[in-house]
Amino acid sequence: MKKLTKNSGITLIALVITIIVLLILAGVTIMSVTGENGILSRSISAREETKKAQALEELKEKIMEVQIDKKGEATLQDIIDALESDTENSYTVSTELATITGELPDLADKMELYILYKDYWFKVNSKLEVTFVKDSDSNDNNVEENKEDENVVKISDKASLEDFRNKINSGEKFENKTIKLTANIDLGGSTENKWTPIGDTEEHAFTGTFDGDGHTIENLCISAEGTSQGLFGYNKGTIKNLGIASINIIASSEGESTDANIGFIAGYNSGTIANCYNEADVEFTGGYHVGGIVGYLYTNGKISECYNSGDILGTTEPVGGAVCGIVGYAKDNCRIEYCYNTGDITNHASGQNARAAGISNGGVVVESCYNTGTIILKQDDNPKTWPVSAGIVAQLNGSGGMYNCYNIGETKIETTRTSSLRNGSIAGWTQEDIENCYCWCSEGVEAVAEKYEDEKTIKCEVTVKSNKEDMKNIASELGENFKEDENEINYGYPILVWQDKQ
């Protein structure tokens, strides 16, 4: 690393000696000058803080110049290129918090850089935000703010993920720990190599924080057998920043449907799942409550800023079997907020009272969500059945409600029956309030197929647009969590505010 040029003039040592002499003549003791909290120590500390702040501001300015040059689309690689071409200053760039020499770092799957500049290490994340980490002469070379947090467990490959899974399923608790992925993980799943979920029983439910850190899980293969199936079986903690890139669901050994709750992130969730997604197309036989994110959302469970863009085609058999884009079934004070589905959802059911929906089914508060996928319920003939298909929530019941949502996806029920069909663009059946929602209805479909008011009068405020193009102009009516699709990432239809920040 190149030495920084020092300004000429009175050296620091000479200046210090002069100050000490003057202070002694003034009656100030040596200890008050040179002690741990003495004048000199405080002066040097203040000087060091000034240098550190100046270096931080200079680095921020450098990155801002790159951002301006790239019109706000700069990447970490652009930052590396700019620093390499800067001949006036010296930098060391790494993807780990340690000095390296030779070739520049490989940024594959990396979400942050570490830059040594003017004797200080700084971290630059994927949003190009800069923070101070430590002094260059510190003996501590860990990533997190001068010391490795003992409560952070890092996972970089299949073997370490399996090891973590086995510890959870053996009863080890990670309640106050964060599990953090540092790379995309390929599980290499197959019929012979099915994944055993993290948290295989409710007793072994995960209770810590699992941070995918923007990484994905590939080739996840799970069985339709069992109680709760997914990457996680039972989650009572927090799962965030994680994606499913590819998945396969294997039917039971007899090839028949079972009553498993299947969610690609978690089969059962009474914790929080945030900023997670599924982009895999899935076709399967088996399962009871099936969702692109969670199978069964229960007791104060929460889903926030999640999406499904994969096509999900399932065959369910039990009474009330459901296939939905986000959550298969929800119960008991649950909440789904700021989520969307763009995948086509199909439930080919032989059991009665089958459901299909873009977002969810059951007792849940759904706030600021939307669906653009086609929703199909294929129902085998059954004289006792009441099939339900809907763009947002199939059957909205106890402790639920729907607010500020919209649907432009086509909804269908394919059956030879001619009665007891609940096919709604927003909801198939509701006994809870629906407020400030918008939809376009396919032919023969109502906004809400059936209302059940019982002893209370419910609100059902849905605005129906006869032309799909008119649905592109409703962002302001949907509230502060939506915005216009200026960059055409949703074909001009309103998007959630967080989508534009990705």
Q: What pLDDT does residue 191 have?
A: 87
Half-sphere exposure of 297 (CA within 13 A, CB side): 33
Q: Of the candidates 214, 252, 212, which has an alpha carbon nearest to the alpha carbon of residue 232?
A: 212
Which helix or strand (DSSP H or E) is residue 32 part of? helix 30-34
Query: At 119, which amino acid appears?
Result: D
In the block, tokens 């006994």 appear at 431
In the chain, the percentage of residues whose pLDDT exceeds 90 is 58
Q: Tell me the C-alpha distance between 457 and 244, whole Å.
A: 41
80 — pLDDT class (breaks 50, 70, 90): confident
Are residues 282 and 308 in contact, defined by beta-carbon separation less than 8 angstroms?
Answer: no
Mean pLDDT computed over every residue of the chain? 85
327 C-beta neighbours (distance < 10 Å), count: 34
Q: Of the candidates 477, 373, 435, which has an alpha carbon nearest to the alpha carbon of residue 447?
A: 435
Instruction: Say if residue 375's pLDDT is above 60.
Output: yes
Q: What pLDDT does residue 15 have?
A: 56
Alpha carbon 496 to chain centroid distance?
Answer: 14
101 — pLDDT class (breaks 50, 70, 90): very low
Q: How far is CA 444 from CA 111, 255, 303, 405, 421, in A?
A: 48, 36, 32, 21, 11
Q: Of the candidates 372, 358, 357, which has an alpha carbon nearest to the alpha carbon of residue 321?
A: 357
pLDDT for 272-282, tens place per residue? Answer: 999 999 999 99
118-127, 255-264, 344-353, 473-482: range with highest mean pLDDT: 473-482
* String of DSSP letters for 156-178: -SHHHHHHHHHHHHTT---TT-E
Q: What pLDDT does residue 119 have?
A: 79
Are residues 393 and 360 in contact, defined by beta-carbon separation less than 8 angstroms?
Answer: yes
Which helix or strand (DSSP H or E) is residue 79 part of? helix 76-84
Q: Which one is predicted more confidently, 175 or 122?
A: 175
At residue 238's C-alpha, the angle toward residues 232 and 243, to 5°, is 60
Instruction: Say if residue 422's pLDDT is above 90.
Output: yes
Q: Which one is predicted more confidently, 405 or 14?
A: 405
Q: 152-501: which CATH topology? A: Pectate Lyase C-like (2.160.20)
130 C-beta neighbours (distance < 10 Å), count: 19
Quick one: tokens of 443?
């032919």
Scored b (16 or more CB within 10 A) or e, 475-495 reads beebeebbbbbeeeebebbbb
7 — pLDDT class (breaks 50, 70, 90): very low
Q: Tell me the C-alpha distance between 80 and 159, whole Å.
A: 32
* String of DSSP letters for 393-434: EEEE-TT-EEES-EE-S-EEEE-S--SS-EEEEEEEEESS-E
> Which stretches within 2-90 are classed as H helix?
12-25, 30-34, 39-69, 76-84
Show me where the domains of the chain are located.
52-135, 152-501
Instruction: Say if residue 134's pLDDT is above 90.
Output: no
